[in-house]
Amino acid sequence: MVATPTAPTSTGRAGAGDAAWLATLAGAPLPSRRQEDWRFTDLKALTALEPQMITPADPLAAVDLPAGLERLSSSSAAPWLGQALAATASAEHWPVLLNSGASAAQACPLLALRVFGAAGSLDLHLDAGSTAGLATFRLLLVLEPGSSLELLLRPSSSGPNALSLVSEVILAPGAELKLGSLAFGTEESCLFQHTAVVQAAGSRLDHTAVAGGWGLARLEPRILQRDGQAFSRLRGLQVCRGAELADTHTWVRFDGPEGELDQLHKAVADDQARSVFNGAVRVPRAAQRTNAAQLSRSLLLSDRARIDTKPELEIVADDVKCAHGATVSRLQSEELFYLRSRGIASDQAAQLLQRAFCEEVLRDLPAAAASHGPLLTLLGRA
């Protein structure tokens, strides 16, 4: 923020007492809005939670693992755990601390998977259910050299609770992961989804995160290209209405040369909703010939909604291509007019254009997503 920060003043609801159990679980006080990363993130939906833990069902119990995929026990997963978090500098990050604290407190199932071949696709439903409280999930994916997986995660909630999901992903050379996340909640629920990925040279990540309907959703994909020379494709779509807050903070760092990033983030904000996007790209000296492109496009549909975007590019290498762009607008009047001149009612024309806007991201989800009707869930309520 330039010169004098003018953060709205409303920390009142988050009285220390309300959030004490969360602070105790995390072993650290809740983030304050004076912290740059949390300036726009109103945590009142979180602090309003019933102070109790939910034991969710083990999502892996219900599925048959395809060939090329193996579930790791806690002890065999142990050497891998924490690596991706450390590499992406997020081990001390508050949502991660909360997840770690809560997992330890109630021994939640560890979803640890080792991928050692062409594992095909997997669809995991991570449901916080309808009971009040806090549900935590922890996922570890280790992709061995040359292996591949297409994974769809479906975090969901239908009650006044918070779902905390921390995923750690380690991609060996030549590994390919298509990781989709389709997260639907209610206006009483919160989502904290943190995804830390370390990519070795020659690996490929396609990560698409879609969220809608949560009172508060905070998505934090963080990627480190450990030796550069990898490919990361990031897609994000957040749709918020009513009084919802959708907040995405992405972070990508290249620690070696010739890495590639192709990032597109989209947001739709209607009613009094608030949409926040923060996209950091770090290109240190070692990352010569990096090619990174970040684009953020936001649709603002109501005059009480608001959008804050904040790309952050930090570059210390001269032979790089880094481009970023941002647009904020409402639906293009030219396009609307064109549709209407062909006889389509303005509501319907607007729907069509919104669908087209969303579909550009949705089509990058794993194929399994289609059966869950994402478009209808996202826009159907309009």
Partner 1 sequence: MSTATVGDLVSQPYKYGFVTEIETEKIAKGLSEDVVRLISAKKEEPAFLLEFRLRAFRQWQQMQEPDWAALGFPAIDYQDIIYYAAPKQQQKKTSLDEVDPKLLETFDKLGIPLSEQKRLSNVAVDAVFDSVSIATTFKEQLAEHGVIFCSISEAVKEHPELIERYLGTVVPSNDNYFAALNSAVFSDGSFVFIPKGVECPMELSTYFRINSGDTGQFERTLIVAEEGASVSYLEGCTAPMFDTNQLHAAVVELVVLDDASIKYSTVQNWYAGDENGVGGIYNFVTKRGQCRGDRSKISWTQVETGSAITWKYPSCVLQGADSVGEFYSVALTNNKQQADTGTKMIHVGPRSRSTIVSKGISAGHSSNSYRGLVQIGPKAVGARNYSQCDSMLIGDQAAANTYPYIRCQQPDAAIEHEASTCRISEDQLFYLQSRGIGFEEAVSMMVSGFCRDVFNQLPMEFAAEADKLLALKLEGSVG
How far apart are CB 271 and partner 1 at their closest, in Å? 11
In angstroms, rounded to a whole number, what is the distance separating the alpha carbons of residues 93 and 102? 14
How far apart are CB 122 and partner 1 at their closest, in Å? 37
**Taking CB under 8 A as the criterion, which residues in 286-305 touch partner 1?**
288, 298, 300-305
Alpha helices, DSSP H only, in the chain?
16-26, 44-47, 74-77, 83-87, 94-106, 333-341, 346-362, 374-379
Return the number of the residue (125 or 289) whose C-beta is nearest partner 1.
Answer: 289
Return the number of the residue (96 or 281) whose C-beta is nearest partner 1.
Answer: 281
Number of residues that bind partner 1 (CB under 8 A): 40
Q: Are 268 and 358 in contact (CB under 8 A)?
A: yes
Angle at CA of residue 208, ends 204 and 212, nearest 5°: 170
In angstroms, rounded to a whole number, what is the distance separating the alpha carbons of residues 93 and 86? 10
User: Which residues have a Cβ under 8 Å from the Cβ of 310 and sit 6 or more positions away?
Assistant: 277, 278, 279
How far apart are CB 295 and partner 1 at their closest, in Å? 10
Per-position x/- string for 12-51, each x denoting binding to partner 1 as judged by CB under 8 A, each - no binding: ------------------------x---------------
Is residue 2 involved in binding partner 1 (CB under 8 A)?
yes
Is residue 312 involved in binding partner 1 (CB under 8 A)?
yes
Provide the phi-psi class of 292: left if phi over 0, else alpha when psi is between -120 and 50, else beta.
beta
Is residue 9 involved in binding partner 1 (CB under 8 A)?
no
Return the number of other C-beta atoms located less than 10 Å from residue 125's C-beta. 15
Q: Which residue has the tokens 């620690």?
A: 255
Is residue 323 involved in binding partner 1 (CB under 8 A)?
yes
Is residue 8 involved in binding partner 1 (CB under 8 A)?
no
Out of 5, 27, 79, 145, name the contact with partner 1 by CB under 8 A: 5
How far apart are CB 364 and partner 1 at their closest, in Å? 23
Residues that bind partner 1 (CB under 8 A): 1-5, 36, 285, 288, 298, 300-330
